[in-house]
Amino acid sequence: MIDLDNVEALRALDAADMLGAVGDLPDHCRAAYDAALTLDLPPGDGATGVVFCGMGGSAVAGDVLRAVFRDRLGVPVDVNRGHDLPAYAGERTLVVISSYSGNTSETLASFREALARGCKIVAVTSGGTLGAEMAQAGLPVVPVPGGFQPRAALGYLGFSALGALEAMGLLPPLAADVEETVTELRGLAARLGPLTPVADNPAKALAKRVGEKVPMIWGAEGIGAVAAMRWKTQLNENAKLPAFWSSMSELDHNEVVGWVQPYGHDFSLIALRHDGEHPEIGERFSLSYEIARSAGMDNAEVRAAGSSLLARLMSLILVGDYTSVYLGLRRGIDPTPVAVIDRLKNTLVGG
């Protein structure tokens, strides 16, 4: 095991500086939002719905949009992870195509189908095939810088999309929400970065607490559930661990039945909480912790920072991003490479 307070050892193992990319999240959010507002984008008036298309890290931006702003958009938002668009998508549907690389096969298929149906289309990408085909079709692109792993580009992808939708008139002014979010994230990054020792660093302490157990992430429906899913995927990719997530209170209608002895001993429960939860949710969490502990499961809580939904969600995400990287580094694993995904992509392309 690597000592998480040995900064030189962490940096030597973290060859591509995933910790640095995680810590730069607030700057990514600020730069992306500001840049998107300056773009000359077509007005979104007349759109009766938004379909956000993406996979992996590129799709999380859509989850953020739907969870935080669905009550402020005035039209329904659907996050589409797959090749095919929903049947209702047509000329009055805004389709946001999110692909960091621009080469994601499922997202390209959705884009081409949206083009054929005459949908309103805007893309968020660093280029690739998507960028080229958007340019050929004369369609608007919100550019993001390349050079990152897609999972480390959430700030660019998510806040570019928010700024673009505001510029198109589909979202109200978000400057206050973005400012609070960036401020909260900068404070968190200072507390959670590699120079802060375990004793004062909640992400490092949580990584040590999880240890060799399988993380189980719970989050309240809405922003908590989005954060929980993000934690799960970051633990998969950065820590190279199996991990699972569930949303409250849905998990109280099924999952809790499975937490009986001896199954809890190999899991570590992390609950993501925030002050905007439904009043019943707090009591449900407390009762569900008792069930998990009775099965032998350890549990911890992470609470969101900030007053806006956007700040709360992004703060939970940042703690999870850091925790996932520290879990991998503690076990001597470089968090950046994803050899299994690369092999899958190469095999599919080769086939």
pLDDT in tens, the chain (351 residues): 999 999 999 999 999 999 999 999 999 999 999 999 999 999 998 999 999 999 999 999 999 999 999 888 889 999 999 999 999 999 999 999 999 999 999 999 999 999 999 999 999 999 999 999 999 999 999 999 999 999 999 999 999 999 999 999 999 999 999 999 999 999 999 999 999 999 999 999 999 999 999 999 999 999 999 999 999 999 999 999 999 999 999 999 999 999 999 999 999 999 999 999 999 999 999 999 999 999 999 999 999 999 999 999 999 999 999 999 999 999 999 999 998 888 888 888 654
CB 273 within 8 A of CB 316: no
Q: Cα–Cα distance between 223 and 79 in angstroms, integer?
A: 15
Provide the CATH number for the domain around residue 88: 3.40.50.10490
Q: Cα–Cα distance between 27 and 164 in angstroms, integer?
A: 18
- Domain stop point among 173, 197, 220: 173
The answer to whether residue 48 is domain-embedded is yes
CB 215 within 8 A of CB 268: yes
The answer to whether residue 3 is domain-embedded is no
Assess whether 60 and 146 both reside in one domain.
yes
Which pLDDT tens digit goes with each residue over 46-87?
A: 999 999 999 999 999 999 999 999 888 889 999 999 999 999
Assess whether 146 and 62 both reside in one domain.
yes
Helix residue spans in the chain (DSSP H):
7-13, 18-23, 25-37, 57-73, 105-117, 128-137, 154-167, 175-192, 202-210, 223-239, 279-294, 309-330, 339-350
Assess whether 161 and 236 both reside in one domain.
no
State the total domains in the chain: 2
pTM of the model: 0.97
CB 75 within 8 A of CB 47: yes
CB 18 within 8 A of CB 152: yes
The answer to whether residue 204 is domain-embedded is yes
Q: Is 214 helix (H, G, I), strand (E, B) or coil?
A: strand
Assess whether 198 and 319 both reside in one domain.
yes
Assess whether 169 and 22 both reside in one domain.
yes
Which amino acid belongs to residue 242? P
- Domain stop point among 173, 198, 221: 173
For tokens 């956000």, what's the residue? 52
Assess whether 23 and 107 both reside in one domain.
yes
Assess whether 311 and 217 both reside in one domain.
yes
The answer to whether residue 336 is domain-embedded is no
Share of the chain above pLDDT 90, in %: 94
Residue 76: domain span: 18-173
Assess whether 79 and 132 both reside in one domain.
yes
Which amino acid belongs to residue 9? A
| CB-CB neighbours of 158 under 10 Å | 30
Assess whether 158 and 202 both reside in one domain.
no
The answer to whether residue 146 is domain-embedded is yes
The answer to whether residue 338 is domain-embedded is no
DSSP-assigned letters across all residues of 230-298? HHHHHHHHHH----EEEEETGGGGTGGGG--TTGGGGEEEEEEE-TTS-HHHHHHHHHHHHHHHHTT-E
Assess whether 212 and 112 both reside in one domain.
no
Displacement of CA 284 from its chain's centroid (Å): 25
The answer to whether residue 266 is domain-embedded is yes
Give me the active site residues, please: 237, 253, 345
Assess whether 132 and 205 both reside in one domain.
no
- Domain stop point among 124, 140, 173: 173
Sign of CA dihedral 140, 143, 146, 152: negative
Assess whether 40 and 129 both reside in one domain.
yes
Name the phi and psi angles at 24, rounded to 5.
-85, 5
Q: Cα–Cα distance between 91 and 302 in angstroms, integer?
A: 43
The answer to whether residue 8 is domain-embedded is no
